[in-house]
Structure 1
């Protein structure tokens, strides 16, 4: 057991490769020094499942959201539906949501409409917005900057965008979460951006079961692996592993204020 505790700020515990053995997955994570887990939903039919995981397991929280890939399949999931689902005490975030123009699995206008519904829900509930963006920096920022009632904050998850996008998102009050991608040899630009993220706005995540970090490439990613990403970032940023863990965990609780 490591002498400090990390939080995996974005994992898909309900996906079959992890969901078939959630107690084992969580036990291995805790043995690696990971004590908190935000279970992310991507489809409406997942919401009850991730909430049940949060209800059942200590240190697990849940979100409600529609991934941009799924926007075409959920045209009726509006802000009111999200707001109602977010009333559960273990739900601490809205998303993941956003825009993905790399795969374009859903119509772009439909993605924007879904994203706007999530933004409205986040403002209405006061919960952080979990944002996915790929090859859609300008439109993502434009929607985040649209005026609305209530404060909007959140996190750009699995960050792989440009330095300019990071600067704009930070200026809007968002946090930046880094996944195992930052450890990849071909992610030098991302590593340079990772050095610039303010200490009080940095989060770490796995996005498991995807994107296993070095030295676990090729394996099914688990929340335990966030320790490898944190270790890499600590070295990159010139701080101790304990300091990196302490600051990112404090940041998680500062952002997701409903988290105990």
Structure 2
């Protein structure tokens, strides 16, 4: 089995000194490439260095997560463009987007937070359009607004992936009709995730991609443990059963889709 983890937060493993063990276990499990994903400016130098040390195996994305923004982050925001002229450029801008999950509805403070999130999302989408790069979108309880912002930005939806997709089959069909795609996590292995499995089937094999979103969302039978790239094989095995294909075929399809999308 040859797999790409299309979305992983690896800073925990770098900072606790376990990164070499984590990468070895990933390799042993058939995970040959890992795309790290930034949450804040504190991640950028970590992931750039990791991509340099493990060139051809680890790749990185630059961006600011909607829950990691503040008024003080505007200086960092303007620095994003410089990385696309670097000798180790990111393969995408991400993860960026909107997160309304914990925002109190219709309050003055919620409107302020949403406005700030949208400012950061729009600016980062501008960079994506300028450099023609891929975009990894975080859209928690904000699917429609994310679609609207991307449409208004002029970013080509063919360059867009909604990571850790948790929406409906109808939503993924709409995303696909615009040219975008969804990536799926170990949540598809959870008994309660029928709607997500339906969404994955609705998207079909031609765009399917998988991710750990580690260290979160470990798949069954590893649920409850700190997630890591080596666990992705469990998600691929579950997806193969859902699609009715062999594990090797499932891995091959997802590998091809992911490598072609990110140009890696």
| TM-score w.r.t. length of structure 2 | 0.90
Q: In the TM superposition, what are the counterparts of 1:83-232 in structure 2 within 5 Å?
A: 83-88=81-86, 89-104=88-103, 107-148=113-154, 151-152=156-157, 153-232=159-238
State the distance in 2 between where 1:90 and 1:184 align. Answer: 36
Whichever structure has more helix as a proportion of its residues is 2
**How far does residue 90 in structure 1 lie from its aligned partner after superposition?**
4.2
What are the superposed Cα offsets for residues 172-219 of structure 1, whole Å, 9 maximum, x if unpaired? 222211001111111111111111113221100000000000010111
Of 158-167 and 131-140, the range deviating more from structure 2? 158-167
Matched, 1:256 2:262: yes
Q: Find the residue that maps to 1:8 and give its secondary structure.
A: strand
* Residue of structure 2 in register with 1:247 after alignment: 253
Q: Find the residue that maps to 1:91 and give its secondary structure.
A: coil
* Residue of structure 2 in register with 1:48 after alignment: 45
Q: Which runs of 5+ in 2 are unaligned?
A: 104-109
**How far does residue 17 in structure 1 lie from its aligned partner after superposition?**
7.8
Q: Find the residue that maps to 2:35 and give its secondary structure.
A: strand
State the distance in 1 between where 2:15 and 2:22 align. Answer: 7
**How far does residue 77 in structure 1 lie from its aligned partner after superposition?**
3.9
Q: In the TM superposition, what are the counterparts of 1:60-75 in structure 2 within 5 Å?
A: 60-72=58-70, 73-75=72-74
Residues 42 and 147 (structure 1), Cα distance of their counterparts in 2 relative to 1, 3 Å cut: closer
* Residue of structure 1 in register with 2:54 after alignment: 57
Q: Find the residue that maps to 1:76 and give its secondary structure.
A: helix
- Whether the 8 Å CA contact 1:179–1:205 is kept in 2: the answer is yes
State the distance in 2 between where 1:67 and 1:142 align. Answer: 18
